[in-house]
Structure 1
Amino acid sequence: MALSRSMRTCLHSGRLALLAILVSGGIVLQILACALYNNWWPMLTVLMYLILPMPLIFFLGSDTSSIMSNGGDGWVNFTKFLTGASIVGSIAIPSILKHAGVIGWGALTMELSSFVVFGVAILWFIQMSSEDEYSSVF
């Protein structure tokens, strides 16, 4: 049974709304990790979240399939390296802060859960943008 065009548009709008809620939840967890424990050092992780999409934007353009492939030229490999370094930094910064005694277990847990929420949102966005029917609606 095929859905009508308006029904497909409504479903895709709902998926975009859920994606926005996921990103908002990640931001809220990030801010709560700082505000609840009255320690703003965990905000250093925001730098990694800002740096994370930059290699993808600058070096790959709109072709997200090449980041998932095994092959590629030098720029694609450099982009993969910078993206991996940003991901490791997103996990390492709160872990190092906890190891140094700057933040507590609660802030570390909220920081890492914020990272997971952002990761799910990014993966879901990549999956949504690669679907043929999603791009044909708009």
Structure 2
Amino acid sequence: MTFLVLACALPQYNNWWPFFMVAFYLLAPFPTVLSRRLSGDSSTNPCREIAIFITSVIIISAFGLPIVLARAPEAAPVILWGSAGLVITANIIVFLTIMGFFLAFDNDDVDYSMW
């Protein structure tokens, strides 16, 4: 989140646009969480496959949006390439953190009393 705030803090005009990435950060884990609650114990399940696809679309869109905003017409780009680089760095860190959370807490029979 620090890189995302830094992308918004660069001295340029209308630089609050990179903060829209927070919506992608909040939406990315929902399809996977819902599919785990609704699907059975099988490893291949249509519900889980659709959730993986939707999550992939959200993640790719999160990487594509700053590039599209930076490649706006040269007369008035929405964000500069420095902000786009900081947003992409923030995307990498946040999505790897979300993936690490799912990998660490994937086991359903975790004994929470030991925490």
TM interval, shorter chain, is 0.7 to 0.9
TM-score (norm 1): 0.65
Aligned length: 105
Q: What residue number does 1:20 align with?
A: none
Q: Distance in 1 between matches of 2:9 and 2:19?
A: 10
Q: What is residue 86 of structure 1 aligned with on the other side?
A: 58
TM-score of the pair, normalised by structure 2: 0.76
Unaligned residue ranges in structure 1 (runs of 5+): 1-26
Percent identity of equivalent pairs: 27
C-alpha displacement of 1:42: 1.1
CA RMSD for the aligned pairs? 2.5
Partner of 2:105: 129
Residue 47 of structure 1 is matched in structure 2 by 23
Please give the alpha-carbon distance, in whole angstroms, between the structure 1 residues aligned to 2:101 and 2:38: 13
| 1:1-138 paired onto structure 2 within 5 Å | 27-38=1-12, 39-61=15-37, 72-100=44-72, 101-130=77-106, 135-136=110-111, 137-138=114-115
Tell me how far 1:36 sits from its aligned partner: 2.0
Deviations 1:96-120 (A, max 9, x none): 1011121111101110110111122
